[in-house]
Structure 1
């Protein structure tokens, strides 16, 4: 796959505060990369640097092979961006604002705009000053998705949307990905990232702490196992890789290091298993591994 976004050793400070410390990751064609971390972790600083709004202190950042600061205007013609809190002109209608955004971008499809307006259930005739936060986000999403871009940078794009509209958004992102477009998705809704992202980048205090596919990251933590058996389950408790063992009658629940799965299964088969369920860690589990404290 060809790299659309390439960030290498990116650094940015605000006075004595180092907002980004050697941040490196990429986004490829036909790929959704989930970019997650708590408030103040450096997500928005990274995105603003990619957009050419902030000038980096060090490292490199390119989009379409071009420097994000030097060639910002050229890059912007080929990308769509939705922030987490879309600001609108209060006296214009939603439809007028969408058309203006599309015109400023340099094109777009009227039929696509109409389709998205219907899918997101937006009243385009209403003045923007009467819109809720969710409806303001819809305006930004409709405008961004109505133009044919090669990269979509989405910073908390579904903030304020109800679950039904989140589902519509997810379907649209899946369609974009299928067309070979690249998506950088920053979201606080971990289930959304888990559903959409091919790879995940987790940032903490300006430093990348984890990156990879969900399958790769799951190897870094434990699955939750529930087992019932005829034999004595207590013999599992002290096996290597078994943690937090809780026994209730003929059943037991415990956390299991993935590397120890084969050994535990081999032992468990001797106990006359009647039920065995292993649940891999969710993205939330991986996230909380770094932020629970």
Structure 2
């Protein structure tokens, strides 16, 4: 199956400043692809190249099977920019109706249904909307024509937690319908729970593409065992991936990086009465990629 987005050697320089360099990336049909990196890492540059808002210094990108420069492909994309400007005097409802006509129409009641889900007031002039309400209108215009590809740049800025959860439910529904989402963010939690894969970009370079399930398997977690009698420290020392080991009488506490199998087998030699395993800390993995030490990290692509 042809990838929904195919970038090959995609590079953009702004004068002597690097915006993006040698990006090679495929985004698959029907997946949610999280695109992560600090502010200024190159996420928005990548998106603008995909949308043909700017032209590459070198390299190429194909979207929905055609060159990104073909204007006809744009009606098949829903786009929420990271810096949304809505300052007109017209009401939000009228603005959305205009955009709907530009895109060939939307299903009846679609705009109103999205507005209800996001708790958006469509009767307010756009210039009077708060930041959060402007973001809701931006999301409605991106979703309303049921595009084959959704490109969302920092989509939850200004949204309250309840609306954020509704938005994530909408994203999952797009995937369930077999359509594709590219969601760019500098906030891990924003994409962690919905993405199938994530790409991590730093200083204009793609440093990793991983399955979220793989990241979870590798993630750091805290584990605590309680036994029916004191256990010897040496039974748990030197185990692969185990660090910060604390043995106090009948309890063992440690952090584990990777698969817990060696630790579980060591604990099974004794009688376990209680075990606690905290949620894996994906943040640590991402901070490693973002850090100065991760500058020269090789591109890793998970199948």
Fold match by TM threshold 0.5: yes
Residue aligning to 1:55: 55
CA distance in structure 2 between the partners assigned to 1:38 and 1:217 by the alignment: 19
Report the secondary structure of 2:4's partner residue.
strand
Residue aligning to 1:44: 44
Alignment of 1:64-143 (within 5 A): 64-69=64-69, 71=70, 73-143=71-141
Residue aligning to 2:263: 264
- The answer to whether the 8 A contact 2:220-2:282 is kept is no
CA distance in structure 1 between the partners assigned to 2:217 and 2:16 by the alignment: 36
CA gap 1:102/1:191 in 2 versus in 1, 3 angstroms = same
Q: What's the offset of the Cα at 1:248? A: 4.4
Q: What's the offset of the Cα at 1:32? A: 0.5
CA gap 1:233/1:44 in 2 versus in 1, 3 angstroms = farther
The alignment covers a number of residue pairs equal to 290
Residue aligning to 2:197: 199
- The answer to whether the 8 A contact 1:218-1:280 is kept is no
- The answer to whether the 8 A contact 2:221-2:281 is kept is no
Q: What's the offset of the Cα at 1:122? A: 1.4
Runs (4 or more) in structure 1 with deviation over 6 Å come to: none
Choose which of 163, 166, 175 in structure 1 pairs with 2:161.
163
CA distance in structure 2 between the partners assigned to 1:240 and 1:147 by the alignment: 51
Report the secondary structure of 1:134's partner residue.
helix
Unaligned runs of at least 5 residues, structure 2 = 293-303
Report the secondary structure of 2:119's partner residue.
coil
Report the secondary structure of 1:23's partner residue.
strand
- The answer to whether the 8 A contact 1:98-1:140 is kept is no
CA displacement 1:50-93 (0-9 Å, x = unmatched): 01011112222100121113x1x111011110012321133111
Instruction: State which drifts further: 227-236 or 73-82.
Output: 227-236
Report the secondary structure of 1:144's partner residue.
helix
Alignment of 1:167-186 (within 5 A): 167-186=165-184
Instruction: State which drifts further: 15-24 or 218-227.
Output: 218-227
Q: What's the offset of the Cα at 1:250? A: 2.8
Q: What's the offset of the Cα at 1:245? A: 1.6
CA distance in structure 2 between the partners assigned to 1:163 and 1:13 by the alignment: 37
Report the secondary structure of 1:34's partner residue.
strand
Residue aligning to 1:153: 151
- The two structures have a TM-score, normalised by structure 2, of 0.89
CA distance in structure 2 between the partners assigned to 1:45 and 1:163 by the alignment: 28
- The answer to whether the 8 A contact 1:64-1:75 is kept is yes
Residue aligning to 1:253: 253
Superposition CA RMSD, Å: 1.9
- The two structures have a TM-score, normalised by structure 1, of 0.92
Report the secondary structure of 1:26's partner residue.
strand
Unaligned runs of at least 5 residues, structure 1 = none
CA displacement 1:217-251 (0-9 Å, x = unmatched): 23444333222223425221333331122344432
